[in-house]
């Protein structure tokens, strides 16, 4: 009787998935929950009360350990404010390097994530120094789907920056409005990788605003210099391309990341020298995708 009841529950869950009441996220997001409102920006993966979640005493102790560093960061902010000498104009044709992966400290600015971390798959990855002294994003993509009757897509690994912050953990943003092109010097394995620029705003409706574009790699022993205009990035939310597109708000970039998810099981290797920004005066395009006027309630206005 118990086995029959369990089978009925699995069949009902699959039927609801097909009807659209709940579906796993297509693309590299594989959470079974699909809801309009998110309680927190982490998507509910880790919350107070979970196993291994730090106690209030531990959080207070860790806070005091970080106090000295936060005060030093605050002093630097004050000095920069008093200097009043910001870079107002990007130099034409010059690449301003944001991350140069030539030492372990630079690699530590990125965090790793995979479907295995959330029990949604079996993929693994790491970000380490390569034999040539550059950053190496490597791992194994496993497209096997867990047999839980809920997840129907698996196989992703990603690396992304930590949230830009001011002193005392205040949220901040990267201001890339002076540039129009993303520049990367990489050496790949022939796979395609997904570039992600997040515009996580102040409200929960904006937490999942991400802009994607594909980084194509040639493979082989030679380095490639990839220049991708920001106008080519398209808008997605929770892994789904949105009907109504819009350009990136380059004044409010919260994260930058790279994802390996090309529906092909096996090892992947992406060696990265640097990631930078450039103002290309020859590029006049502001947004690459035509938008058409739709009837009311077909696409949000």
Q: At 113, which CATH number?
A: 2.60.120.430
In the chain, the number of structural domains is 1
Stronger pLDDT, 130 or 61, i.e. the higher one: 130
Asked whether residue 64 is assigned to any structural domain, the reply reads: no
Mean pLDDT of the 238-265 span: 90
Asked whether residue 260 is assigned to any structural domain, the reply reads: yes
> Sheet holding 209-216: strands in order across?
110-114, 157-161, 255-260, 192-198, 209-216, 234-237, 240-241
Asked whether residue 35 is assigned to any structural domain, the reply reads: yes
Percent of residues, the chain, with pLDDT higher than 70: 74
Cβ distance 200 to 209 under 8 Å?
yes
Altogether, the residues listed in the chain come to a count of 301
Alpha-carbon span 175 to 87, nearest angstrom: 11
Phi/psi at 71 (nearest 5 deg)? -65, -40
What is the pTM for the complete model shown? 0.74
How sure is the predictor about 25, in pLDDT bands with cuts at 50, 70 and 90? very low
Asked whether residue 284 is assigned to any structural domain, the reply reads: no
- pLDDT score for 40: 59
Asked whether residue 25 is assigned to any structural domain, the reply reads: yes
Structure-token match 């002076």, residue found: 178
Domain with 272, as residue range(s), is 17-53+87-278
Asked whether residue 60 is assigned to any structural domain, the reply reads: no
Residue 57 belongs to what H/E stretch? helix 56-83
Determine the 3-state secondary structure of 6 from DSSP: helix
Q: Which two structure tokens, joined as six digits, stand for 254?
A: 């919260």
Asked if pLDDT for residue 133 goes beyond 80, the answer is yes
Mean pLDDT of the 88-117 span: 89
Asked whether residue 130 is assigned to any structural domain, the reply reads: yes
Percent of residues, the chain, with pLDDT higher than 90: 45
- pLDDT score for 19: 43
Beta-strand pair 240-241/266-278? unpaired
Mean pLDDT of the 115-128 span: 93
Asked whether residue 79 is assigned to any structural domain, the reply reads: no
Asked if pLDDT for residue 101 goes beyond 70, the answer is yes
Residue 209 belongs to what H/E stretch? strand 209-216
Asked if pLDDT for residue 9 goes beyond 70, the answer is no
Structure-token match 């201001």, residue found: 175
């Amino acid at each position: 009787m118990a086995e029959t009841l369990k089978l009925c529950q699995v069949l009902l869950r699959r039927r609801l998935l097909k009807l659209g009441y709940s579906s796993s996220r297509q693309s590299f997001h594989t959470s079974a929950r699909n809801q309009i409102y998110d309680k927190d920006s982490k998507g509910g993966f880790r919350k107070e009360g979970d196993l291994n979640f730090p106690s209030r005493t531990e959080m207070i102790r860790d806070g005091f350990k970080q106090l000295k560093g936060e005060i030093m960061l605050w002093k630097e902010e004050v000095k920069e404010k008093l200097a009043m000498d910001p870079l107002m104009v990007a130099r034409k044709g010059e690449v301003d390097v944001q991350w140069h992966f030539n030492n372990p400290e630079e690699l530590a600015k990125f965090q790793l994530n995979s479907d295995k971390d959330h029990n949604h798959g079996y993929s693994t990855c790491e970000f380490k120094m390569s034999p040539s002294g550059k950053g190496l994003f490597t791992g194994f993509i496993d497209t096997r789907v867990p047999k839980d009757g809920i997840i129907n897509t698996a196989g992703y690994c990603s690396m992304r920056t930590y949230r830009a912050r001011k002193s005392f953990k205040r949220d901040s943003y990267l201001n890339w409005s002076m540039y129009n092109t993303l520049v990367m010097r990489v050496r790949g394995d022939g796979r395609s990788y997904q570039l992600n620029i997040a515009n996580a705003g102040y409200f929960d409706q904006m937490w999942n605003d991400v802009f994607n574009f594909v980084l194509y790699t040639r493979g082989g022993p030679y380095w490639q210099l990839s220049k991708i205009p920001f106008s080519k990035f398209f808008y997605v939310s929770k892994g789904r391309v949105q009907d109504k597109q819009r350009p990136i708000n380059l004044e409010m970039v919260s994260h930058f990341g790279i994802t390996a998810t090309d529906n092909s099981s096996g090892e992947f290797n992406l060696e990265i020298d640097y990631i930078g920004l450039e103002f290309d005066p020859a590029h006049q395009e502001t947004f690459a995708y035509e938008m058409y006027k739709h009837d009311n309630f077909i696409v949000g206005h």
